[in-house]
Structure 1
Amino acid sequence: MPRPRDLGVERVTERTNGLPRILLAGDLMIDHDLMGTRARISPGAPGPVVDVHRQRVAVGGAGHVLRKLHALGADVRVASVVGDDAGGRRIIRTLSALGVPTNALLTEPGRTTARKTRLLAHHRPVARFNQESRAAIAPQSAAALLDAVRGQPERVDAVLLSDFNQGVLTPALTQRIIGWARRQSIPVLVDPKGSDWAKYCGATVLLPNQREVARLIRTNLDSIDALQQAAAALQSGLGVRYVLFTLAKQGMVLFGKSMTRIDAAATDGRSLHGAGTTVFATFGFCLACSATVEEAAQLANRAAAVAAGKRGGPATIDDLIDYEKDLGQVHTAPVMQSPGRIEQISRQLRRQGKTIVFTNGCFDLLHRGHVEYLVASRACGDRLIVGLNSDASVRRLKGPDRPVVHQADRAYILAALGCVDYVVIFEDDTPYELIRRIQPDVLTKGGDYTAREQVVGHDLVPDVRLISLVQGQSTTCTIGRIQRAA
């Protein structure tokens, strides 16, 4: 059974120039958690009494997928229908606050926005109360939603259908969305629910869990052979190209023209709560970045392990890079030549509240002065991004005999330094456009500058710091010593 070759998350995501655009269609609802402690048994009935100390309200259903796509840095557009009620208005406000376009988020008068209330004691679920109607959205709502999907102002890179069986993804609407996407060669991924899977005909990837399929076909799927037969039936019956079965702690199995087994990533025994939406979101994100399905499945598997360590919280690209470093598979900082990619990473870092430091230079014949300067720059924040002049840029700045060291080698050496988090190669004579896209919090330059106004990009960054240089240390001096010794 083939297994996917091991690729780091940066190798996959650097293929996209900018933020991948994803259309997420499905059911949105309100998740309401009541959290407290269970102190005693009720004297009036044989049940627990929970003293509630805290409440949490969030957008649930497809909203879980949205948050995880957002954490990965995707540009997400949501297509759904909610009730014209307090719950629906809360969902619209929440998504607007996240910067998510709501032109395809419609309200339907008379419809009740689903609400799921969980009662937890000592972080353990005691009961859940569902207030929902699984009635299909009205035909006029479905028509308006389809028009909103077709009228997206920019082409999307992937369509994710997150079905919670709450009536938004009706059979007719689902088929029309899939047909629209296929005509534009946009991959469609489906997280299925309910018993009518015929509506998913023509999708690119189906991502069910083992229990859902076993319940649908009324067959025990306790072996690889049984899974293979079920996948073949879904592929032929629904015309889907791939089926990815998630098997909880046993990992996942991908079926296409062949079968690929992916062992579960290490979770240190933590709960896999929230792993399903993490896998779905990460898989879709990677496909939107032009990854292969095998690469997407491998990284989705790792993201599930990261989310387990965060109690179901969203995994970020930074988390995945750290995870791969812990596995010993990434020894250096990521090196990028795509401004769009580093812009995407910067956006994620800002969401996490990280202080981004930027500096730039040629870094030809790296010496102690360079290293001390970079260490001091890294101390100014949480993440250091180094802009590296390309070979062509260095020649224009320094003359035809420079650089001494090729840009790929200069980038590799910088990336190996523990103080450097990201390296991005740029072609321009100045890093102004790169700084504009990254929007760092701190900009550092060497102490040979006497005023912040002399630093390129000072008008874009609130905090410019001039760092003292080590006297007698420069590439020009190093070249001179070598020439004199020759």
Structure 2
Amino acid sequence: MIGELDFSNASVLVLGDLMLDKYYFGNVNRISPEAPVPVVKVNREEYTLGGAGNVVNNIINLKAKAYMIGAIGKDSNKSVIKQLLDEKQVNYHLLERDLPTITKIRVVGEHQQIVRIDFEEIKPLEQEELEEVKQYILSLINKVNCLVISDYGKGMVTFDLSQFVVNQAKEKNLPVIVDPKGSDWDKYRRATIITPNLKELSDLLKIEIKNDDEEIETYGQEVRKKYGLTYLLVTRSEKGMSLITENEVYHIRSEAKEVYDVSGAGDTVVATLATAMSTGINTLDAVKIANTAAGIVVGKIGTAPVTLDELKNALKGYRNRKLRHLQDLIVEIAMLREKGKKIVFTNGCFDILHRGHIEYLKKAKELGDVLIVGLNSDDSVKKIKSKDRPINRQEDRAELLASLEFVDYVVIFDEDTPYNLIKEIRPDILVKGGDYKLEEIVGREFAKRTITLPFIEGYSTTAIIGKIKKGRRDQ
């Protein structure tokens, strides 16, 4: 059905309401004397692309190319958005309006959102602005394989602009995917796919639609015909998705095993669907891939996007929440720290897992609440050991480590040492084997404490390999 994913030739144009999400994380230790509200002592801040920008972020993380058309204000936040887009190497055309850059500030204390502050002024595009955006679209449309309209109802996606996108795409035989907002769907008429969730579909028809296959089919087909859509894709939370076509309805069941946070799941679906269709993958298979991506992203905290490696592994039937990329892990660590959890870090090759490793890792976990294991990649092992190592591939070594109940997370790194990993994680306790002297331990300056643990005598991967080789020679 679906071969090895390669999105390097995929190219998607995203048009929509671009936003800046600001997060302030901190601790709450007292109530303000000025009013009965908590005082948040901020210790970390984070800026991310929001709205249509989150769709772009997901596309980039799938190793595809993204073009962004949106609007910003003439204020300081426009520079932050441009910097974030530049860092991700996104090609963009941004309309500068005499309005504030749409910004959402969230203050989070003790893992609880205390308040959200919005800066926005909703105003449809004026004729001169509309013509400018149309020229942007015409300059880019020959460079892309798919178009996305990401409508958050903030004024960017007008009837005229939306229909212009649809008409241009039809002329070029390109798919248009719409993430809708509100009940004015006339502006999306004749799009290839619209992706409402169940509530959005209910709001459109002004009735309560049950999360039931039969009702989804009946009302979904009605909507598909009314607006001249090729497909309607209804996202149904824990029940997965339903793809409604002219002749068939396909119910794709949910891939999620544990739901932690649904933030940004819709953006992930749209981005993955568009990226997959950009490479020529048929619509049903693209929907199945998007459904798998949604199952991954709801297992994360916050709006962290799905990576291509995670998607590939999940499609192969490989799912283990303990295996994380550093980018995702940093977000999770911040949340764990806000809950008062003590982070322990250690690293190694763990080429042939043996009793010595098990006892060492058990003792490491006893030093704190969360044990993170940095695992040398295959290329890294070859550099520090020999060209004949590792014996077991990194995927197999990672899976074995993750299967241990006292290991909480495994993150693979390519460098010779875990210096950069430790610098980013900044563990409460850094643990190494007893054959290291404290002053030799890399990255100890980023840990609150550094501890060495003795190995069990007689157990080592080198010794095991030696025994195997000797056995062969004795045969």
Deviation at 1:180, TM superposition (A): 0.3
Q: 1:245 aligns to what? A: 234
In 2, Cα distance between equivalents of 1:236 and 1:323: 34
What pairs up with 1:356-375 in 2 under 5 angstroms?
A: none
1:336-394 superposed Cα distances (whole Å, 9 cap, x missing partner): xxxxxxxxxxxxx9999xxxxxxxxxxxxxxxxxxxxxx98673479xxxxxxxxxxxx
Deviation at 1:294, TM superposition (A): 1.2
Query: Is residue 19–residue 73 contact of structure 1 (8 Å, CA) maintained in 2?
Result: no
Deviation at 1:87, TM superposition (A): 1.8
Aligned pairs, number: 338
In 2, Cα distance between equivalents of 1:381 and 1:214: 58
Q: 2:314 aligns to what? A: 323
Q: 1:476 aligns to what? A: none
Which residue of 39, 48, 58 corresponds with 1:49? 39
In 2, Cα distance between equivalents of 1:130 and 1:240: 34
Counterpart amino acid of residue 11 in structure 2: R
Deviation at 1:131, TM superposition (A): 1.3
Deviation at 1:28, TM superposition (A): 0.7
Relative to structure 1, the CA distance from residue 381 to residue 145 in structure 2 (aligned partners, 3 Å threshold; closer, same or farther) is farther
In 1, Cα distance between equivalents of 2:89 and 2:132: 22
Query: Is residue 289–residue 315 contact of structure 2 (8 Å, CA) maintained in 1?
Result: no
Q: 1:272 aligns to what? A: 262
Consecutive unaligned residues of structure 2, counting only runs of 5 or more, are: 320-324, 329-376, 385-390, 396-413, 417-475
In 2, Cα distance between equivalents of 1:139 and 1:376: 57
Relative to structure 1, the CA distance from residue 93 to residue 380 in structure 2 (aligned partners, 3 Å threshold; closer, same or farther) is same
Deviation at 1:8, TM superposition (A): 4.4
Deviation at 1:285, TM superposition (A): 0.8
Q: 2:440 aligns to what? A: none
Which residue of 107, 123, 129 corresponds with 2:96? 107
Q: 1:397 aligns to what? A: none
Counterpart amino acid of residue 294 in structure 2: A
1:200-241 superposed Cα distances (whole Å, 9 cap, x missing partner): 001000001111121222111113232223212221121111
Relative to structure 1, the CA distance from residue 380 to residue 351 in structure 2 (aligned partners, 3 Å threshold; closer, same or farther) is farther
Q: 1:61 aligns to what? A: 51
Q: 1:175 aligns to what? A: 163
> Which shifted more, 40-49 or 150-159?
40-49
Q: 1:121 aligns to what? A: 109
> Which shifted more, 92-101 or 296-305?
92-101
Relative to structure 1, the CA distance from residue 9 to residue 120 in structure 2 (aligned partners, 3 Å threshold; closer, same or farther) is farther
1:252-279 superposed Cα distances (whole Å, 9 cap, x missing partner): 1111131111111133243322211111
Q: 2:219 aligns to what? A: 230
Which residue of 182, 206, 217 corresponds with 1:194? 182
Q: 1:22 aligns to what? A: 12
Deviation at 1:420, TM superposition (A): 8.7
What pairs up with 1:412-431 in 2 under 5 angstroms?
A: 419=393
Q: 1:94 aligns to what? A: 84
Deviation at 1:156, TM superposition (A): 1.0
Query: Is residue 8–residue 321 contact of structure 1 (8 Å, CA) maintained in 2?
Result: no
In 1, Cα distance between equivalents of 2:37 and 2:415: 53
Identical pairs, percent: 28
In 2, Cα distance between equivalents of 1:34 and 1:77: 29
In 2, Cα distance between equivalents of 1:228 and 1:72: 31
CA RMSD of aligned residues (A): 3.0
Deviation at 1:95, TM superposition (A): 1.3
Q: 2:128 aligns to what? A: 140
Q: 1:379 aligns to what? A: 381
In 1, Cα distance between equivalents of 2:165 and 2:379: 49
Counterpart amino acid of residue 117 in structure 1: I
SS in 1 for 2:12: strand
Relative to structure 1, the CA distance from residue 186 to residue 88 in structure 2 (aligned partners, 3 Å threshold; closer, same or farther) is same
Q: Higher RCO, 1 or 2 (CA under 8 Å, sep at least 6)? A: 1
Query: Is residue 68–residue 278 contact of structure 1 (8 Å, CA) maintained in 2?
Result: yes
Query: Is residue 9–residue 299 contact of structure 1 (8 Å, CA) maintained in 2?
Result: no
SS in 2 for 1:92: helix
Does residue 1:308 correspond to 2:298, yes or no?
Answer: yes
Relative to structure 1, the CA distance from residue 418 to residue 292 in structure 2 (aligned partners, 3 Å threshold; closer, same or farther) is farther
Relative to structure 1, the CA distance from residue 376 to residue 284 in structure 2 (aligned partners, 3 Å threshold; closer, same or farther) is closer
Deviation at 1:51, TM superposition (A): 2.5
Q: 2:137 aligns to what? A: 149
Query: Is residue 378–residue 394 contact of structure 2 (8 Å, CA) maintained in 1?
Result: no
Relative to structure 1, the CA distance from residue 326 to residue 122 in structure 2 (aligned partners, 3 Å threshold; closer, same or farther) is farther
Does residue 1:298 correspond to 2:301, yes or no?
Answer: no
Query: Is residue 11–residue 66 contact of structure 2 (8 Å, CA) maintained in 1?
Result: yes
Which residue of 60, 65, 79 corresponds with 1:70? 60
In 1, Cα distance between equivalents of 2:75 and 2:56: 21
Relative to structure 1, the CA distance from residue 381 to residue 225 in structure 2 (aligned partners, 3 Å threshold; closer, same or farther) is farther
